[in-house]
Chains A and B, each alone.
Chain A
């Protein structure tokens, strides 16, 4: 079970709490986690990644285990504590705008 922490507006959109859990079969990568997240909460499609390119939206960042993973390749493995469910994969809204 992978833990995913969502920013405030996406929690409201998906009608969930701070953290959700998703199942990932196979290697635990950014892509696999986000695929599983969008499968379980279709309303989040297009809000974290672009529908077509699947690129991370510019004002969102990905963190885990005190590391900024935003620029990692989508298919690189996430840190082991995330894969074991010890630490959440965090989707964070950039502090920008008003």
Chain B
């Protein structure tokens, strides 16, 4: 029988939460790495028991942990992330050049086919890769070498590379996104990259055709349609149908189109989920009502999903890494809040219930569907 494993990273440790395919009762393990910020945990699609975790601390820096048994035990791997060559500078908040400095790993994306290959998105923005299961990490320098790097500037949370999406039909193609540089695509396995931000409009960018500078929060893809991407930008929900060559706004009737996470239904490529947040000044739901919005038409038309979610006095946030779907027949969807709840729905968002509550602030949620 199938089962589900939810990997939760929080500000004070990691948790592994498991259920059978019914998804009614949940067993919580953890905290692992108690007291550490766990930015992201993710399992290998090629070996579900192989997990990787980004562990960091303002005091002690970055660590990478690996599990070979589905999160029961962990082993510290190499934590040396050194930029290739002379790091150079990017733009600081005040517009001055600022040296590239490694701060932390925001996102770990295991290869679709090889459990020893993992991509790491880091702050200050760069893409690293290991091909030996985390024993060593090397920058893929073509991204920062694209030429626009000196003009990249950080978002409020830093200059982080937070989104890595692999094309399951084209091993040479990958998409990444950086706050606040924008989205990029490689078609040659990471050697060269191009910005894919045409059609994005951001108030703070005076040039509407700017190649970079957009604060992309998250990009999601359905594996059956890799040329169709959905983006939650700082403001605006966007869609491309040509692998990022151009984007169109699909915010439609959303009550606010500011937000962080975005994801796609496991079996319906046009069904998309977002969590609208009031504004970039007030990072909580509108009117204290926690609502997931779903579009079944690839955007434009959205419906609120509220059953089981708090509809008064709720002032949590849902961060960019904190939403994921399972692949069971009735698609499950999960998201974590800065209030420490992880909500789950086993019917594509119709009904919600907390699978755990009162954790530290949730930074990331990933889901593995196990058979």
On chain A, the residues within 8 Å of B76 by CB distance are 13, 43
B205 contacts the other chain (CB 8 A) = no
**B61 A9 Cβ-Cβ under 8 A:** no
- Interface footprint category on A: 20 to 34
Contact A57 B36 (CB under 8 A): no
> Which residues of chain A are within 8 angstroms of B79 by Cβ–Cβ distance?
45-47, 51
User: Tally of A-B residue pairs with Cβ under 8 A?
Assistant: 44
Query: Which of B17-25, B52-60, B166-174, B212-220 contacts the other chain?
Result: B52-60
A13–B55 alpha-carbon span in the complex (Å): 11
**Interface residue from A43, A45, A50, A93 paired with B59 (Cβ < 8 Å):** A93
Out of B58, B60, B62, B80, name the residue touching A10 (CB < 8 Å). B60
**B101 — nearest CB in chain A belongs to which residue?**
A50
Distance (whole angstroms) from the CB of B73 to the closest CB of chain A: 12
A4–B119 CA distance with the chains assembled, in angstroms: 36
Chain A residue at smallest Cβ distance from B81? A51
Q: Contacting A52 at CB < 8 Å: which of B57, B58, B82?
A: B82
Bound CA span A73–B35, Å: 31
Contact A94 B59 (CB under 8 A): yes
Among B60, B62, B81, contact of A9 (Cβ-Cβ < 8 Å): B60
Residues of A within 8 A of B81 (CB): 51
By beta carbon, the residue of chain A nearest B12 is A98
Q: Are A47 and B36 in contact (CB under 8 A)?
A: no
Tell me if A69 counts as interface (CB < 8 A to partner B).
no
Find out whether the CB atom of B61 lies under 8 angstroms from the CB atom of A46: yes
The 9 residue pairs across chains A and B that have the minimum distance between CB atoms: A47-B60, A59-B59, A43-B76, A51-B80, A93-B59, A46-B79, A46-B61, A47-B61, A59-B58
- Additional A-B contact list (13), CB under 8 Å, known A9-B60, A97-B59: A9-B36, A9-B57, A9-B59, A13-B76, A43-B63, A46-B63, A46-B79, A47-B60, A47-B79, A50-B61, A51-B80, A57-B59, A93-B60
